[in-house]
Amino acid sequence: MHSDDKVDIASREELEMLLRLFYQDVLSDPIIGFFFTDVIAFSLEQHLPRVIDFWAQILFGESSYQGQLFERHQHIHQQAKLSQHHFSRWLHLLNNNIDRHFEGLNCTKMKTRAARIAESMAAALEQKSPSNNPRTGVQFFTP
Ligand code: HEM
């Protein structure tokens, strides 16, 4: 579907607009909202600059992101398991917000990269998960 009133994500201002809408959905979401409201003491205003840096690096080639992406999510995962259906929901909300407001190459890039990062993050967390492996029955941590 082509729409003339949509533009590509081309600046930090547009990233901020998109991410504010995304986190508005995330925070009130019945499936993943609790990670942000109950599991982590989450502050949107503290989080936004880091997440804008993160995406500006991927989309605009800035070298702005200084964070610890995996460690942050591993910390969450240790308190409440981040499962595949949480990642699917997160991606769904992101893709929805991108498609509702923007259109173009950076949109495709953001959706593709998000899916790839989510996949590798989920796989890495699963490996370190403090639970039984359902496929092999191997117990990684003794109670
Ligand atoms: C179910 C999926 C996810 C949940 C529930 C989730 C939740 C969170 C939460 C609660 C934080 C704040 C952590 C803190 O302040 O200590 C955070 C940080 C962050 N998340 Fe996620 N996240 C998910 C998936 C992703 C994915 C797939 C990406 C990237 C494609 C991502 C990118 C980020 C970034 C860049 C930060 C900032 C990290 C930093 O401070 O350096 N998240 N996430």
DSSP 45-72: HHHHHHHHHHHHHHHH--------HHHH
| Residue 49 CB less than 6 A away from ligand 1 | no
Domain membership of residue 53 (yes or no) is: yes
> Residue 83 CA: which ligand 1 atom is closest?
1
Is residue 136, in this structure, part of any structural domain at all? no
Ligand 1 contacts CB of residue 86 (under 6 A): yes
Return the CATH number at 48.
Answer: 1.10.490.10
pTM: 0.89
Closest CA to 83 of 136, 25, 34: 34
Distances, alpha carbon 100 to alpha carbons 20, 91, 109, in Å: 13, 14, 16
- Which of 17-21, 67-71, 81-85 comes out lowest in average pLDDT? 67-71
ipTM of the complex: 0.97
Instruction: For residue 90, tell me if it sits in a domain.
Output: yes
d(CA 34, CA 32): 6
Q: How many domains does the chain have?
A: 1
Residue 60: name the closest of 16, 93, 11 by CA.
11
Instruction: List the domain range (segments joined by +) for residue 45.
Output: 12-127
Would you say residue 132 lies in a domain? no
Do the domain assignments include residue 137? Answer: no
Does some domain include residue 84? yes
